Amino acid sequence: MKPGQPLLISAGIVGALLLFTILTILFIPTREILAVITSGLERQGYTMRAGHFGKAFPIGVQARNLEISDPRGGLIRLDKVSFRVSLPPLCLGRVVINYRGEIGKGTIEGDFSPQKRRSFSLRMADVALGDIPFFRTVTEAEVKGALNASAIIQGKEGNYRGELRLWVKGAVLRGIKLSGMPLPDASYETIQGICRVNGGKVSLESFTLQGKGLYVRLKGDMPVASPPGSAPLNMTFELMPKPEFLEGQKFIFILLSKYLSSPGHYQIPIRGTLAKPAIQ
């Protein structure tokens, strides 16, 4: 074998695999791709609707006016979204899928790898909470504010490592109900949170809401589950109102009186699942 011939053979194999992947996706009818995605979501208990669904150049799919729902109503709504196979990693034998979506004036983007050693990244910028139907569907809440987030998670199934950071500017949360129990209406100067993923568990390392007359802290954990909405919650919602705030919403705090652990400190256990949180 001549010098350099193994390199040429390897390059030829990679090129053939790349060409095969491109041609395979190009010649699969769009309706078949949509049927596979829809079927996969239905097995997890979700439905998907899209105003338009088609292929994206060079290897991928894209949709407009896409909504994912469960039997209660909408959970996620995207004005535009696309998923594309990244070509450079594919040339090295790795499958990495880049995604990007638009929600109102906000954006969400990142990448993930579905191979054995999985990876996931997320960057979310200025997504209006009111444009995410999950909050109204799950908590009956009227929400406002600009959500920003970043995440990097890697590892094999059952042994993931990583973190999620989020922060919200100018948040207003009104009409929140869990298990029919109302929670105080409030405006929050800042909402900040850090979630750690270690092995098969997600832990809230720090999640605080600094409001006008009210300080809120959420702590606890939940396992990594599939689908994510089925993850059982083991969390505590702590409310620390100032006297004037408490007086202004006295009726709600009377309903919460059984959760009063010390003067001015309420501890509310949150159970159920991520998709259906419930007050114990």
**Domain assignment present for 54:** no
What is the band of 22 on the pLDDT scale with cuts at 50, 70, 90? low
Could you tell me if residue 264 is left (phi over 0), alpha (psi between -120 and 50 degrees) or otherwise beta? Answer: left
**Domain assignment present for 182:** yes
Residue among 141, 108, 143, 111 nearest 126 (CA)? 108
CA distance 187 to 215: 11
What is the band of 18 on the pLDDT scale with cuts at 50, 70, 90? low
**Domain assignment present for 254:** yes
- The secondary structure of residue 259, as a DSSP letter, is G
pLDDT above 70: percentage of residues in the chain: 89
Return the higher-pLDDT residue of 253 and 5: 253
Return the higher-pLDDT residue of 224 and 162: 162
**Domain assignment present for 197:** yes
Per-residue pLDDT for 103 more than 90?
A: yes
**Total number of domains constituting the chain:** 1
Q: pLDDT tens digit string along 38-81?
A: 888 888 888 889 898 888 877 788 899 999 998 888 999 999 99
Residue among 57, 19, 51 nearest 34 (CA)? 51
Structure confidence at residue 151 (pLDDT) = 94
Structure confidence at residue 148 (pLDDT) = 95
Q: pLDDT tens digit string along 182-220?
A: 889 999 888 999 999 988 888 988 899 888 899 999 999
What mean pLDDT is reported for the chain? 84
Structure confidence at residue 117 (pLDDT) = 75
**Domain assignment present for 213:** yes
**Domain assignment present for 190:** yes
What is the band of 7 on the pLDDT scale with cuts at 50, 70, 90? very low
**Domain assignment present for 33:** no
Could you tell me if residue 162 is left (phi over 0), alpha (psi between -120 and 50 degrees) or otherwise beta? Answer: left
**Domain assignment present for 262:** yes
Structure confidence at residue 170 (pLDDT) = 87
Return the higher-pLDDT residue of 107 and 45: 107
Structure confidence at residue 6 (pLDDT) = 45
CA distance 92 to 257: 60
Q: pLDDT tens digit string along 84-100?
A: 888 777 777 777 889 99
Structure confidence at residue 20 (pLDDT) = 57
Return the higher-pLDDT residue of 232 and 275: 232
